[in-house]
Amino acid sequence: MSEQPLDGAVALVTGASSGIGAATARRLAREGAAVVLVARRRDRLDQVASDIAGSGGHAVAVPADITDPERAEGAVQETMDRLGRLDILVNNAGIMLLSSALHTTVEEWDRMVSLNVAALLHITHAAVPHLIYAASTSPRQVADLVNMGAAAGRAARPGSSVYSLTKSGLSAFTESLRQELVGERVRVSLVEPGTVDTELVDHLNETVRDASRRRIAGIEALRPEDIADAIGYIVTRERRVAVTQMLVRAGEQSW
């Protein structure tokens, strides 16, 4: 009998080209899952897939801009065509553009809503029927949908209004979806990281980026692997256990 809890399962991870997404893909592959890597950057996806294969796992790179509903649906369909099932969806793709309402642009707000909300809805809608089927046919008798929130969804701060809006709204969406799917044995979970050392800050303008880095200079930030561990814990529980929400802050983080 396999010692890997996800042996035979298929997981799709969005935003899998770097940071938390890449770390999560590697973690799920170590647990025995075949992993579908979805993001826009083909070269980065290929590198993550190569790393997983080099460690004895199986990964498939599917480049897609999931803000396009057809591309999101296509990524799910390609998963089914190539691997035949979908047991785990990790909605990790997201962007954080911090600035005050006075100094930002509507285009920046639209970018966050497009990726953090619309893209997540597109791929979730396409995946749910397959997750339900997986829960009813797999030896585990359960499937998982994990949404990536943020501590900013709980505590808004100046400059994070729309980013916090997307993450706070995601919390409500996740809870409603959890209640809808509980009878189908599809567990729906929200993971809310605090400060993590990822590329999110790199997307900020220079002034805001420098201010953000000064703010966290006195703490040891979480690593992407710390959040991947949280996701790995959630999806490897036996079906009687549902971890529906997990807030993971850096040990020295006060906000």
For the annotated catalytic residues, the residue numbers are 163
Structure tokens at 79: 């998963």
- Alpha-carbon gap, residue 242 to 230, rounded angstroms: 13
**What is the residue-wise DSSP string for 33-87?**
-EEEEEES-HHHHHHHHHHHHHTT-EEEEEE--TTSHHHHHHHHHHHHHHHS---
Spatial CA neighbour of 194 closest among 226, 222, 168: 222
Q: Kind of pairing, strands 88-91 and 58-63?
A: unpaired
